[in-house]
Chains A and B, each alone.
Chain A
Amino acid sequence: MDYQFQWRPVLRSLPEMLWGALQTIEIAGLAMLLGTILAIFLALAKRSGKTYLSLPADMWIETARNTPALFQIYMLFFGLGSLGLQVGSYAALLLGITFNNAGYLAETFRGGFAAVPETQTRAARSLGMGAVQTQWHIVIPQMLRAVFHAMTNQMVWSVLMSSLGVIVGLTTDLTGVTQELNVVTYRTFEYFFVAACLYYLISKAFTLSARVVAWRLFRY
């Protein structure tokens, strides 16, 4: 192999890449937060038993789960654009991952609700607790444990998916910044290798902190 590695320019642009990493975390985190909120509504809509609620929820969930995430981002970026709704690459990426997260998490939450036995609700109500108190103190804490692991995985997915922004022209997240530097310098391997390391660190940081949170939260 006569390839000469050049790491110095990469190290020089490390601060830029770290800023990109920050944006990656921001997008992934926001998409997770919004996705979680939407997923709760989707899961409730599916449980409602009313077709006009459960059918759109089903369509959302199945589209999110049965088409590529990149396709979902394209739909927002190119598809909405043709309707005259100009969506920037940042927004298309954020909304695309949010759409995807919500679809997957909705299924997770549905399973989570089912994992808390009906008898727990009964026991709480028999002590005179109201419906809201029962959900808040008894059902949701237990559901949270049932879905916590899946949510951690989805968070990592959210980080990994955010790398797709570059394909619709995003230049400010970690992959986007890396690609910009790559186009100027052609040191593809070096730049993307460092980017890979940073992604690995971000993923592990989320996984490990989730483990600490779980350890603190679920002592039982």
Chain B
Amino acid sequence: MIAIENVHKQFGALHVLKGVDLSVKKGEVLSMIGGSGSGKSTMLMCINGLEGILQGRITVDGVEVHAKATDLNKLRRRIGIVFQQWNAFPHLTVLENVTLAPRKVLGKSKEEAEAIAIEQLSHVGLKEKIGVFPSRLSGGQQQRMAIARALAMSPDYMLFDEVTSALDPQLVGEVLDTMRMLSKEGMTMIVVTHEMRFAREVSDRVAFFREGRIHEIGTPEQIFESPEKPETAAFLKSST
């Protein structure tokens, strides 16, 4: 379980998170929606310690993320993250991209790591591409590779940060399909997204962020069909 309690964060004078409380259970799919600058992406970066926090507490299965004694590298093995800019390692082949972390971080042998990588790459439909360099892939393929790269560490949680925002419209579908598949397999996921239809379809719960807080949270039906707050309704209206 991921538990977030009263988290605050500041970038200089900018107060981006102003007390966020949230918990995500095993097997749950939570979507975070909201305007740009509402703090949802920053929240995601805090969960695996890529960003520090000013105040509050985030625990992942009881381990406090921002405690001094926490070994972040160890914690991050269990939390996969996929970024908006897919961040493929350009100097490594698709296979090497996926095997690097299992080998260097988990200490797996080359054969073991390659077996895992091939399994994950087949899973996201990239089995034919294992020998090529990322520059030869489309954006959608690179993003699916990034998902396979994160999955190869067999994480307990997957975080997705606007993974389709930088893609050409015709490539969005293949990435969403991959995520849909993961959610069906029972992966615990936190998804920051602008794809409202997708959020509605796959999420167990949807959180609407506004001005550094969770303004409203509930089931997709609740949020999309009968939002309690007028700002939620206004946001949904503007983004469809």
Contacts and interface: CB of A to CB of B under 8 A. Distances in A.
A and B touch in the complex (CB under 8 A): yes
A128 interface: yes
A129 B105 contact: yes
A141 interface: yes
Contacts of B79: 126
A122 B87 contact: yes
Interface string B139-172: 0000000100110010000000000000000000
B91 interface: yes
A142 B91 contact: yes
Contact of A126 (B50, B74, B89): B50
B198 interface: no
A128 B75 CA distance: 7
A127 B85 contact: no
A128 B105 contact: yes
B83 A128 contact: no
A211 interface: no
Contacts of B91: 141-142, 145, 218, 220
B121 interface: no
Contacts of B101: 127-129
B87 A127 contact: no
Contact of B73 (A123, A129, A218): A129
Contacts of B50: 122, 125-126
Interface residues of A, number: 20
B104 interface: yes
Chain A residues touching B, majority SS: helix
A141 B93 CA distance: 13
B150 A127 contact: yes
Contacts of A129: 73, 100-101, 104-105
A120 B76 contact: no
Interface stretch (A9-17, A130-138, A166-174): A130-138
Interface in A120-168: 120, 122-130, 133, 137-138, 141-142, 145
12 contacts: A123-B146, A126-B80, A126-B83, A127-B105, A128-B76, A128-B77, A128-B101, A129-B100, A129-B104, A219-B133, A220-B92, A220-B133
Interface of B: 48, 50, 73-77, 79-81, 83, 85, 87, 89-92, 100-101, 104-105, 133-135, 146, 149-150, 153
Given A126-B79, A126-B83, A137-B104, 12 more contacts: A119-B83, A126-B48, A127-B100, A127-B105, A127-B149, A128-B73, A128-B153, A141-B91, A142-B90, A142-B91, A220-B90, A220-B135
